[in-house]
């Protein structure tokens, strides 16, 4: 029987430590390898070590500007029929991400700061990219600020 392991990557160990009591509480700390590094470097390293097709699942909640890079690397690392999930695919429920009419014209919702707008553009860009990628089957779950589920087809 194969024993599952998780690699958790974050540049800030404090983010990992927030969840650590829950991880310990369910007794799976021994199955988690934490890497306090840049995710791009971790993915590159895994590919250099010949880990292609060895992952069943990946969950990405990181710098939205790098989602396309993560996607290309993860398509190599995740086996066929494996899953990749991208978090924040409708970023705070923003219609700007979905290219629809603005939902927040009445002043309710998120402030229109430049940094938020840039994130919206990055997410909109990656959503278009994922929808047009024939290597994956895709669906969207509109919970909180959305997740996109991708299944590697080939």
Write phi, then psi, for 56 (nearest 5 degrees). -90, -30
Lowest mean pLDDT among 24-28, 70-74, 89-93: 89-93
pLDDT at 124: 85
pTM for the full model? 0.77
Torsion angle (degrees, nearest 10) of CA 43, 9, 138, 98: -110
Q: What is the mean pLDDT of the chain?
A: 82
13-33 mean pLDDT: 92
Q: Are 10 and 36 in contact (CB under 8 A)?
A: yes
Say how far apart CA 39 and CA 25 lie, in whole Å: 26
* DSSP strands (E only) in the chain: 6-9, 32-35, 55-60, 78-87, 136-141, 147-152
What are the structural domains of the chain? Answer: 55-152 (3.40.50.150)
Sheet holding 55-60, edge to edge: 55-60, 78-87, 147-152, 136-141
Q: Please tell me the predicted confidence (pLDDT) of residue 79.
A: 96
**pLDDT at 118 exceeding the cut of 60:** yes
């Amino acid at each position: 029987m194969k024993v599952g392991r998780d690699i958790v990557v974050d540049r800030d160990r404090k983010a990992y430590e927030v969840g650590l009591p829950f991880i310990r509480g369910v007794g799976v700390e021994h199955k988690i390898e934490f890497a306090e590094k840049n995710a791009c470097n971790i993915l590159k390293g895994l590919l250099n070590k010949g880990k292609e097709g060895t992952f069943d699942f990946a969950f990405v909640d990181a710098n939205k500007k790098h989602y396309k890079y993560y996607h290309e690397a993860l398509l190599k690392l995740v086996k066929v029929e494996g899953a990749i999930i991208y978090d924040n695919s409708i970023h705070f429920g923003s219609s700007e991400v979905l290219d629809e009419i603005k939902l927040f014209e009445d002043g309710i919702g998120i402030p229109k700061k430049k940094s938020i707008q840039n994130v919206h553009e990055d997410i909109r860009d990656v959503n278009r990219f994922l929808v047009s990628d024939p290597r994956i089957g895709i669906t969207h779950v509109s919970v909180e600020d959305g997740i996109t589920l991708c299944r590697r087809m080939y």
